[in-house]
Structure 1
Amino acid sequence: MDIRIDDLQGSAIQALLQTHLNAMYEHSPPESVHALDLEALRHPSITFWTAWDNHELLGCGALKQLSADHAELKSMRTASAHVRKGVARVILRHIESAARVKGIQRISLETGPHAPFAAAQKLYMSEGFVECGPFANYVLDPYSLFMTKALL
Structure 2
Amino acid sequence: MYTLIRTSSENPDFQKLVNQLDQNLAKKNGDSNDFFAQHNKIDLIKNVVLAYDKEVVVGCGAMKSYDASSMEIKRMFVLPQMRSKGIATSILNELETWAKALKYERCIMETGAKMPEAISVYKKNGYSVTPNYEPYINISDSICFEKLLDA
Structure 2 alignment gaps of length 5 or more: none
1:75 Cα offset (Å): 0.3
Aligned to 2:67, the other structure's residue is in SS state: coil
RMSD between aligned alpha carbons? 1.7
- For the residues of structure 2 that align with 1:133 and 1:59, how far apart are their CA atoms? 28
User: Partners of 2:124 and 2:43 in 1: how far apart?
Assistant: 29
Change in CA separation of 1:32 and 1:144 when aligned onto 2, cut-off 3 Å: farther
Q: CA deviation at 1:18?
A: 0.9
Q: Which runs of 4+ in 1 moved over 4 A?
A: none
Corresponding residue SS for 2:15 = helix
The runs of 5 or more residues in structure 1 that have no matched partner are none
| 1:61-100 alignment, distance < 5 Å | 61-100=61-100
* Residue of structure 2 equivalent to 1:3: 4
1:123 aligned onto 2:121? yes
Identity over aligned residues, as a percent? 21
In the TM superposition, residue 2 of structure 1 has moved relative to its aligned partner by 1.6
Q: Identify the residue that residue 33 of structure 1 maps to in structure 2.
A: 36
Q: Which residue of 2 aligns with 1:19?
A: 20
* TM-score, normalisation: structure 2: 0.87
Tell me the number of residue pairs that the alignment of Structure 1 and Structure 2 aligns: 145
For residue 135 of structure 1, what is the aligned residue in structure 2? 133
* Paired residues of 1:32 and 1:141 also in contact (CA < 8 A): no
CA deviations on 1:38-72 (whole Å, 9 max, x unpaired) are xx32325x411111122111200001111221110
Matched-pair contact (CA < 8 Å) for 1:130–1:147: yes
